[in-house]
Amino acid sequence: MVAPANQPLLQVSNLRIEFPTRRGTLVAVDDISFHIDPGEVLGVVGESGAGKSLTGAAIIGLLEPPGRIAGGQILFDGQRIDNLPYESMRRIRGKQIGAVFQDPLTSLNPLYSIGRQLIETITTHLPLSDSEARKRAIDLLAEVGIPSAERRIDQYPHQFSGGMRQRVVIALALCANPRLIVADEPTTALDVSIQAQIIALLKKLCREHGTAVMLVTHDMGVIAETADRVAVMYAGRIAEIGPARQVIKHALHPYTEGLMGSIPTVGADAERLVQIEGAMPRLTEIPAGCAYNPRCPKVFDRCRIERPEPVAVGPTGVACWLYAKEGPRG
Amino acid sequence: MLAFIVRRLLQSIAVLLAVGFIAFSMFQFAGDPVNNMVGQDANAETRALLRERLGLDQPFPIQFVRFIGNMLQGEFGVSYRLGMKVEQILVQRVPATLELVLIAALLALSVGVPLGVYTGLHRHGALSRVMLTVSLIGISLPTFLIGILLILVFAVWLGWLPSFGRGKVVALGWWTTGLTSWDGFRALILPAVTLSLFQMTLILRLVRSEMLEVLRTDYIKFARARGLTSRSINFGHALKNTMVPVITITGLQIGALIAFAIITETVFQWPGMGLLFLQAIQFVDIPVMSTYLVLVSLMFVIINLTVDLLYYAVDPRLRIERSAVGAH
Looking at residues A45-70, what average pLDDT do you find? 89
List B177's β-bridge partners, or say none.
B170
Prior bond of A243 cis (ω within 30°): no
Looking at beta carbons, which residues of chain B come within 8 Å of A147? 327
Q: How far is it, in rounded angstroms, from Cα B151 to Cα B161?
A: 8
Q: Do A107 and B222 touch (CB under 8 A)?
A: yes
pLDDT tens for A158-180 read: 999 988 999 999 999 999 999 99
**Domain total of chain A:** 1
Give the pLDDT score at B70: 83
Q: Residue A260 falls within a domain, yes or no?
A: no
Q: Kindly state the percentage of chain B with pLDDT values over 90.
A: 15
Q: Do A111 and B326 touch (CB under 8 A)?
A: no
Q: Residue A35 falls within a domain, yes or no?
A: no
Q: Do A106 and B218 touch (CB under 8 A)?
A: yes
Chain B residue at shortest CA distance from A62: B225
Q: Which residue of A103, A124, A164 is in closest CB contact with B328?
A: A164
Q: Kindly state the percentage of chain A with pLDDT values over 70.
A: 93
Q: Residue A156 falls within a domain, yes or no?
A: yes
Alpha-carbon distances of B315 from A107, A108, B9, B216, rounded to whole Å:
17, 14, 22, 19
**Does the structure show a pLDDT above 80 at B260?**
no
Q: Residue A41 falls within a domain, yes or no?
A: no
Q: Kindly state the percentage of chain A with pLDDT values over 90.
A: 45
Q: Do A109 and B228 touch (CB under 8 A)?
A: no
Between residues B324 and A16, the one the model is more confident about = A16
Nearest to B63 by CA among B296, B289, B287, B294: B287
Per-chain mean pLDDT for chain B: 83
Nearest to A143 by CA among A177, A186, A112: A177
* B3 at interface of A, judged by CB pairs closer than 8 A: no
Q: Residue A139 falls within a domain, yes or no?
A: yes
Between residues B169 and B48, the one the model is more confident about = B48
Give the pLDDT score at A2: 45
Give the pLDDT score at A270: 60
Q: Do B222 and A99 touch (CB under 8 A)?
A: yes
Provide the 10 A C-beta neighbour count for residue B85: 15
Q: Which residue of B219, B230, B328 is in closest CB contact with A107?
A: B219
Q: Which of residues 228-267 of B touch A (CB under 8 A)?
A: 228-230, 232, 236-237, 240-241
Per-chain mean pLDDT for chain A: 87
State the residue range of the domain holding A121: 105-177
Confidence of residue A299 (pLDDT cuts 50, 70, 90): confident
Task: Give the distance from residue B303's alpha carbon to the nearest chain A alpha carbon, in angstroms.
Answer: 23
* A164 at interface of B, judged by CB pairs closer than 8 A: yes
Q: What is the pTM of this model?
A: 0.80
Confidence of residue B67 (pLDDT cuts 50, 70, 90): confident
pLDDT tens for B131-157 read: 888 888 878 888 888 888 888 888 888
Confidence of residue B274 (pLDDT cuts 50, 70, 90): confident
Between residues B327 and A297, the one the model is more confident about = A297
**Does the structure show a pLDDT above 80 at B27?**
no
**Does the structure show a pLDDT above 70 at A153?**
yes
Q: Which residue of B225, B226, B241 is in closest CB contact with A111?
A: B241
Give the pLDDT score at B206: 92
Measured over the CA atoms of residue A87, residue A91, residue A97 and residue A98, the dihedral's sign is positive
Looking at residues A54-69, what average pLDDT do you find? 90
Q: Residues with Cβ < 8 Å from A40, sequence gap 6 or more?
A: A9, A212, A213, A228, A229
Q: How far is it, in rounded angstroms, from Cα A185 to Cα A218?
A: 8
* B315 at interface of A, judged by CB pairs closer than 8 A: yes
**How many residue contacts between A and B have a Cβ separation below 8 Å?**
91
Report phi then psi at B79, rounded to 5.
Answer: -65, 130
Can you tell me whether residue A169 is helix, strand or coil? helix
Chain A residue at shortest CA distance from B328: A161
Q: Do A62 and B224 touch (CB under 8 A)?
A: yes
pLDDT tens for A65-105 read: 888 999 999 999 989 998 899 999 999 999 999 999 888 88
Looking at beta carbons, which residues of chain A come within 8 Å of B225? 60, 62, 93-94, 98-99, 101
Longest dimension (CA), chain B: 86
Chain A residue at shortest CA distance from B236: A112
Confidence of residue A271 (pLDDT cuts 50, 70, 90): low
Q: Which of residues 292-311 of A touch B (CB under 8 A)?
A: none
**ipTM for this model:** 0.87
Q: Do A124 and B241 touch (CB under 8 A)?
A: no
Q: Do B227 and A109 touch (CB under 8 A)?
A: no
Q: Which residue of A91, A106, A155 is in closest CB contact with B219?
A: A106
**Does the structure show a pLDDT above 70 at A265?**
no
Confidence of residue A37 (pLDDT cuts 50, 70, 90): very high
* A92 at interface of B, judged by CB pairs closer than 8 A: yes
**Which structural domains are found in chain B, ordered by start?**
2-72 (no CATH), 87-319 (1.10.3720.10)
Confidence of residue A305 (pLDDT cuts 50, 70, 90): confident
Q: Residue A47 falls within a domain, yes or no?
A: no
Of A26-35, A250-259, A266-275, B3-12, the least confident: A266-275
Which range of A134-148, A194-208, A270-284 scores highest in mean pLDDT? It is: A134-148
Give the pLDDT score at A109: 92
Looking at residues A220-244, what average pLDDT do you find? 90
Confidence of residue B110 (pLDDT cuts 50, 70, 90): very high
Q: Do A110 and B316 touch (CB under 8 A)?
A: yes
Looking at residues B21-26, what average pLDDT do you find? 80
